[in-house]
With several copies, the nearest count.
Chain A
Amino acid sequence: MNTVIKIFSAPLNIQSATDWIMSPESGGIDVFIGTVRNATKGKPVIRLEFEAYEPMAIAEMEKIAKQAFEKWPVQKILIHHRTGVLEVGEIPVIIAVSAAHRAAAFDACRFIIDTLKQTVPIWKKEIFEDGEVWVAAHP
């Protein structure tokens, strides 16, 4: 398994992610970039705060990468996740997947972000002008 899985408290760098993922063996690379949107359900967002249970978050992301390698013929997987305070337009997450053929890269990249959002112990607080809320905490 050729993976890089890291949690950063400083800004993520797209170029360093794509530099690592590219290789002479790959033909297709899919990169998902999450960005902080300026509104949620129509309400203006000032900033986000991300908190991670880091050792478990790394372990869960490694599990997801392992599953992706088992499900699809992919070559490399990179997951970079931010913590701390993020302003609108900043990048909470970059996922990059390389494969000989593009279908596997697309399928695996989408699986990784979908599963990450369900299982990886990272939490996001949305800060609005009039208050703040931990996303998904309450029904």
Chain B
Amino acid sequence: MNIKVLAFGISKEIFGRSSVNLELANDATVYNLKYVLEHQYPRLKQLASYMIAVNNEYALPGDTIHERDEIAIIPPVSGG
């Protein structure tokens, strides 16, 4: 399946744009997504940490991703 990953803050700079499209296996998990992302954008590994959000919720590594989910990469937040 093809998914789009939204990017913000430092991750937008790492991607060079505000979203990227990726090919993932149909039963891919958040863990698999992070693996693919870090392979294509190794600078992600230099972040203090980052999370994946699925449909506006923080996701766990084992959570499955579906084709129409809204996926975003959440680098360390610093609001307030």
Chain A complexes with chain B? yes
Q: Mark B61-79, 1 if CB is under 8 A from A, else 0.
A: 0000000000010111111
Number of A-B residue pairs having CB atoms within 8 Å of each other in the complex: 82
**How far, in whole Å, are A52 and B68 apart by their CA atoms in the complex?**
22
Q: Is the Cβ of B80 less than 8 Å from the Cβ of A123?
A: no
Number of interface residues of A (CB under 8 A): 29
Q: Is the Cβ of B79 less than 8 Å from the Cβ of A53?
A: no
Query: Would you list which residues of chain B between 17 and 59 have a CB under 8 Å from chain A?
Result: 46-48, 53, 56-58
* Max count, chain B CB within 10 A of own CB: residue among A53, A57, A125: A53
Q: Please indicate the chain B residues that have their CB under 8 angstroms from the CB of A139 in the complex.
A: 48
Q: Please indicate the chain A residues that have their CB under 8 angstroms from the CB of B9 in the complex.
A: 51, 123, 125, 134, 137
A-B contact pairs, 18 of them (CB 8 A): A50-B79, A53-B72, A59-B57, A92-B79, A93-B79, A93-B80, A117-B77, A119-B77, A122-B78, A124-B78, A124-B79, A134-B9, A134-B75, A136-B78, A137-B10, A138-B10, A138-B46, A138-B48
